[in-house]
Amino acid sequence: MVDIQADQPAVDEAVRQLKGGGVVVIPTETVYGLAGRTSDIGAIDRIFALKGRPLDNPLIAHVLDSAGASSVAAHWPDSAKALAAAFWPGPLTMIVERNQNIPARASAGLDTIAVRAPQHPMARAILKGVGEAISAPSANRSGRVSPTSAEHVKADYEGVREAADLLVVDGGSCGCGIESTVLDLTGPAPRILRAGSVLASQIEAVIGPLVGGSLPMSQVASPGTRSRHYAPMKPVIRVETGDVERHLAGSTDPVVVVGGSDLVVPSPHRHMVLSDSPEVAARVLYNHLRDADGQPGDHIVIVLPPDTPAWQAVRDRLIRASVSESG
């Protein structure tokens, strides 16, 4: 059975298992990660197998700081140094050229590698204890909603034979609640591959203009940007605000509607209110989606928040989780 442990003994046990070639689940401020040492090919293979992650979807290497990043990168550019100074530790992942000493499998065979310094104190304590980079994709099974609590991880792996005895270090609920911003620094100009809590405008304030501004959806270089991703089990239908009433009128079963506080959702349907604050909405988003999955009704309805830069990341995850009613 999945083994949830908290506090210092959990950190010590995670360090012991990672040093011994194991794979453990660690809390970060974005989402929970399924972690193994970046230098350990056996652990990397186990991460892909346990998650059921496609072998062409590269992992993020987690480090303490710029010095740690320099050890996985062939070259740590000035732009990365400046961004690390501004946003690390924090939810910004940077893609740079991979150091040839790092196994190619750790970035799905690419010559580049994604690097981030997490902020969560337990993730940092584990990194210090292990003394080297740790690769960790989101700990959900592939294609599903990322876990933002130890209980989510347990729910995903309960009954999975290969995950028997999997250690989950319980660090509480994740503060950001969605995956990091992914920024590619290897092209002719930097560009965002995945929206996250660090906004395009904040990055531009440090290193100047990005290619494509804040439009990660137009990018295809990052396998995790495939559409249908981060999705609950039930079909999720995206409905325009003005069409919610009509949509619900056609549904005899109760339906969960995830959307802003201004929506009117008649009973027996249920309104799961998306906060008016993008930060708060992001923090509880995956909890809402998992919750909605567990409610009666054969589908989930979502109404997107406004199309503004501050909502980009939440909109991106909701769009990937859903299909539009209007096709």
Q: How far is the CB of 213 from ligand AMP (least distance, A)?
A: 19
Helix axes 278-293, 312-320, angle to 10 degrees: 20
Q: Which is nearer to ligand AMP, 64 or 94 (CB)?
A: 94
60 sits near ligand AMP (criterion: CB under 6 A):
yes
Q: How far apart are CA 210 and CA 225, in angstroms?
A: 18
110 sits near ligand AMP (criterion: CB under 6 A):
yes
Q: How far apart are CA 172 and CA 167, in angstroms?
A: 15
List binders of ligand AMP among 70-99 (CB under 6 A). 95
Q: How far is the CB of 140 from Mg ion (least distance, A)?
A: 6
List binders of ligand AMP among 173-192 (CB under 6 A). 179, 182
167 sits near ligand AMP (criterion: CB under 6 A):
no
Q: Which does 310 bind (CB under 5 to 8 A by kind): ligand AMP, Mg ion, none?
A: none
Q: Which is nearer to ligand AMP, 149 or 222 (CB)?
A: 222
Q: Of residues 17, 99, 107, 149, which one binds ligand AMP by CB under 6 A? A: 107
Question: Closest residue to ligand AMP, Cβ-based?
Answer: 224
Among the listed ranges 118-126, 138-146, 155-163, 303-311, the one in contact with Mg ion (CB under 5 A) is: 138-146
Q: How far apart are CA 31 and CA 153, in angstroms?
A: 10
A 10 A CB-CB count for 86 gives 15
Q: How far apart are CA 102 and CA 17, in angstroms?
A: 20
Q: Which does 113 bind (CB under 5 to 8 A by kind): Mg ion, ligand AMP, none?
A: ligand AMP
223 sits near ligand AMP (criterion: CB under 6 A):
yes
113 sits near ligand AMP (criterion: CB under 6 A):
yes
List binders of ligand AMP among 137-156 (CB under 6 A). 137-138
Q: Which does 58 bind (CB under 5 to 8 A by kind): ligand AMP, Mg ion, none?
A: ligand AMP
Q: How far is the CB of 60 from ligand AMP (least distance, A)?
A: 5
148 sits near Mg ion (criterion: CB under 5 A):
no
Q: Of residues 38, 66, 107, 138, which one binds Mg ion by CB under 5 A? A: 138
Binding-site ranges for Mg ion (CB under 5 A) = 138
Binding-site ranges for ligand AMP (CB under 6 A) = 57-58, 60, 95, 107, 110, 112-114, 137-138, 179, 182, 193-194, 221-225
